Structure 1
């Protein structure tokens, strides 16, 4: 009795390959039922044609999507496979060329685990590279740009992490066009992400598009193990429940529940953009009677601005009380004209009247004048550190030297490493109820115009919500908060004295 193509493929995988990682390492490679269901869609036929031109497989992270693609890639390219396409031509696109290499690497590891690594090779020169087998099959890497796949002729097109690709429809259209001559298929996987074309195909699949999707539904409790299992069909055999619980606890403590839902529950939202601090968290910190403890040290976050941007400072006292001050130059336009230009009306004039905003002489904020006003704002408190963007280090050091101010500088980058740590520290402090401040409409304005851009690695960076947004106070806030938390959580030095 002849097996159906899918069953023959599963039997071939189990007989020829083993798991290369995880708790099943070394065991025969048998795909889980939810993975097999997707493969059956891919291999379904309508006569001589594929039953589905596009097959989408959308799940939360770490559900074996890359493993399934690597198995299918080997199945189509290796001559002994029951689904082999002679002289197969394939292409893979992903958010980056390095990301696309993950499928190649997984395929090579499968071959190496059973002593077949001499049957295929990854060639990385010329960049971005390609994967080929002894049988003459070849798979090329594409960068993920809008021109990817243009002019190609493919039996198989794969898009890994399609939801994280740049939001350009031409890439998907190019790949579909590349299938025309060979009557091929496109396989797209990944979390829902932010790519509109990918989400449109999931929500409104046209004829010829098959969608396999797992994720939480509206109203689900993101912290419920029942939700975790329903959204993650591989929870247990592929991703451990303990790992999910750790990720959830981490998200709760850092205030990143939406990010958790996007990556671990495949919830449709915008994981690439989120607020620094939710308004209820900020309002909970308002206390008009609060103030610093007499004589306690403070930590300053400083964002130096040019002609258009504010120069801003946030003072974070060790007890968690916050003060702030910002400045604009008084030329070439007035505060009212700046407010009109920036689309915030009379907010700058109101902040000036409230004492949160000053003007300095000239067309660029005068740093000595600003430092004098900042020192007065701090009051009789020692400054433990002043944190600033390392790009402006020389400017700050020069100003401090000329003013004779002995503050200890702490320089930070705004990339995903320092920026992500500073953002998480700020959220942690506000979520814990550790911060107190008097209401500031200027800070509310800055936070309302501040987005946190989330990369596909999960790291966050501050970003403007529009071209004219002024987020200098938000930048200063995360610098000051992270310095204060770093000091709080520092492990005190212990000395051991041996008396002779």
Structure 2
């Protein structure tokens, strides 16, 4: 553990640089946390917080190291990286409260910051709930602390001899941060910050204080070129002694390069509270899913093992995809309930229309069927072919329709959709308003049930996750459509910091239009059928 090694090196030599370790200061904070704070949620709700060993070390090091000349805290920047569900928010909230109330700073301004105010609340809420409890029980304390409640209004004010000290959650934007004079800034989930703007604003604002602190609390994430990886990389150099920075402190809990992520013996490296705040049962469940689902694997590595991975990954194992290739007769689906997705090409790309059929009513373990229609303009066949494609062969075998001209003619698309509505019980057809509005309006005039659906994370993630579950549970029947298979093999999956996923057209290796249309249809299935039949959603 690099942080522990550095701590012991400093115990021997830091006095030469003007610092010493004060057990009294460390225990003052630890006793405050364990003596006054209780858990506010879950099975431990109402019981005193007892810090685990790793939390004791972090608290002692952050608070205990002091300047010899002034007795002020040594560290100005902190970075704590630990996997989710290890109790970092429950523990960091009391630390923020201690620095707000007990650190001797008049007019202290303590802020928890995240990309949105709502995401800043998990670190603030445990402090808020505990302080409210104290105020209710102590009339004397009630005279010194004012609690502000209400949606998006929560904050606490401590009245001191020379001014007010504030503890408040904030969104990481210029408007909310403007004019602040922070003493302590607790930045939650730094991995979600796409750039260093907020970090730099806070660093600049902290300059007016004698011993300020900015501390990041985060799991790993998917942004490899952001501020989080930058700070992390710098911290590692400091901990190794490659860079001397006596104002920087941090701890990183992660598995080592080369470790087997599915070996339970390695999990504790990223999960120091494994067995207490986080259970082996939970980890085993996540590992089981990660072995099957690519998106779950990425989340398991980042959120449960604290490994940064890129935000793009190949989606389908084609050997698994091929398991759904058994042929079926389209006529068997006549009159069956289904949901559509329409992805229109702008010029020479593939236009795709997909119908997705849930299992028949009452068949909770049944297969899902997909029908696909695709079009390209004639000019597409004359020009350079996309890598791995075989448009001419697909068109001859009926998997692809070629329209005359340089761009796709939408009239045949309209005819197919109108005929599909006659042949099948089409509940809805999802379309993206970009480039599709004119055709959608024409179809709406003919009573085709068109529904707007943006091709962003909100529009595609629910359906993409469902398609993924169907493919890897061998329940998506696609009749070995070679064009659809080619597109499935091209897909690069994009993941955001909230664990949403979507197929990414820009990063994929080739065309993926029918896959996108299928995800759109699946999203509408989930929205439409969730309340009707929970069993339609495939467990993994």
Assess, with a 3 A threshold, how the Cα gap between structure 1 residues 409 and 126 changes in structure 2: closer, same or farther.
closer
Match in the other structure for 1:216: 255
Deviations 1:293-349 (A, max 9, x none): 76345746431426336430235577556553322456xxx3268868xx8698766
| TM-score normalised by L of structure 1 | 0.77
C-alpha displacement of 1:399: 2.8
Match in the other structure for 1:163: 191
Deviations 1:380-412 (A, max 9, x none): 97566564238569954743775xxx9877876
Tell me if structure 2 keeps the 8 A contact 1:426–1:482.
no
Residue of structure 2 aligned with 1:358, choices 401, 406, 412 = 401
Match in the other structure for 1:72: 95
Assess, with a 3 A threshold, how the Cα gap between structure 1 residues 25 and 279 changes in structure 2: closer, same or farther.
same
Assess, with a 3 A threshold, how the Cα gap between structure 1 residues 276 and 177 changes in structure 2: closer, same or farther.
same
Assess, with a 3 A threshold, how the Cα gap between structure 1 residues 247 and 387 changes in structure 2: closer, same or farther.
farther
C-alpha separation between the residues in 1 aligned to 2:150 and 2:429? 43
C-alpha displacement of 1:184: 1.6
C-alpha displacement of 1:95: 1.4
C-alpha displacement of 1:137: 1.0
Deviates more, 1:239-248 or 1:466-475: 466-475
Q: Secondary structure at the match of 1:464?
A: coil
C-alpha displacement of 1:163: 0.7
1:389 paired to 2:431: yes
Deviates more, 1:175-184 or 1:221-230: 221-230
C-alpha separation between the residues in 2 aligned to 1:96 and 1:146? 12
C-alpha displacement of 1:222: 3.6
C-alpha displacement of 1:6: 1.1
Query: Aligned runs of 1:106-125 on 2, under 5 Å?
Result: 106-115=126-135, 118=142, 119-121=144-146
C-alpha separation between the residues in 1 aligned to 2:530 and 2:196? 48
Residue of structure 2 aligned with 1:259, choices 269, 286, 299 = 299
C-alpha displacement of 1:218: 3.5
Residue of structure 2 aligned with 1:292, choices 317, 325, 329 = 329
Q: Secondary structure at the match of 2:207?
A: coil
Query: Aligned runs of 1:435-454 on 2, under 5 Å?
Result: 435-438=477-480, 440=482, 444-445=486-487, 448=490, 450-454=492-496
Match in the other structure for 1:173: 200
Deviates more, 1:112-121 or 1:416-425: 112-121
C-alpha displacement of 1:131: 4.1
Please give the root-mean-square deviation of Cα atoms over the aligned residues, in Å. 4.4
C-alpha separation between the residues in 1 aligned to 2:320 and 2:83? 28
Q: Secondary structure at the match of 1:180?
A: helix
1:199 paired to 2:229: yes
Runs of at least 5 residues in structure 2 that lack an aligned partner in the other structure: 1-21, 239-243, 360-366, 536-540
Match in the other structure for 1:464: 505
Aligned length: 475
Tell me if structure 2 keeps the 8 A contact 1:18–1:113.
no
More helix by share: 2
C-alpha separation between the residues in 1 aligned to 2:410 and 2:523? 23
Assess, with a 3 A threshold, how the Cα gap between structure 1 residues 295 and 426 changes in structure 2: closer, same or farther.
same
C-alpha separation between the residues in 1 aligned to 2:45 and 2:516? 46
C-alpha displacement of 1:187: 0.7
Residue of structure 1 aligned with 2:443, choices 399, 415, 424 = 399
Q: Secondary structure at the match of 2:33?
A: helix
Tell me if structure 1 keeps the 8 A contact 2:117–2:169.
yes
Residue of structure 1 aligned with 2:83, choices 60, 69, 78 = 60
Assess, with a 3 A threshold, how the Cα gap between structure 1 residues 193 and 491 changes in structure 2: closer, same or farther.
closer
Runs of at least 5 residues in structure 1 that lack an aligned partner in the other structure: 494-500
Q: Secondary structure at the match of 1:425?
A: helix
Assess, with a 3 A threshold, how the Cα gap between structure 1 residues 40 and 140 changes in structure 2: closer, same or farther.
same
Tell me if structure 1 keeps the 8 A contact 2:343–2:514.
no
Assess, with a 3 A threshold, how the Cα gap between structure 1 residues 40 and 149 changes in structure 2: closer, same or farther.
farther
Deviates more, 1:44-53 or 1:351-360: 351-360
Deviations 1:332-390 (A, max 9, x none): xx3268868xx8698766755664443446787544412545799x8x97566564238
Residue of structure 2 aligned with 1:40, choices 55, 60, 79 = 60
Query: Aligned runs of 1:228-243 on 2, under 5 Å?
Result: 228-243=267-282
C-alpha separation between the residues in 1 aligned to 2:109 and 2:197? 21
C-alpha displacement of 1:417: 5.9
1:29 paired to 2:69: no
Deviations 1:267-308 (A, max 9, x none): 2213x4444434454355567xx3437634574643142633
C-alpha displacement of 1:191: 0.6
Match in the other structure for 1:496: none
| TM-score normalised by L of structure 2 | 0.72
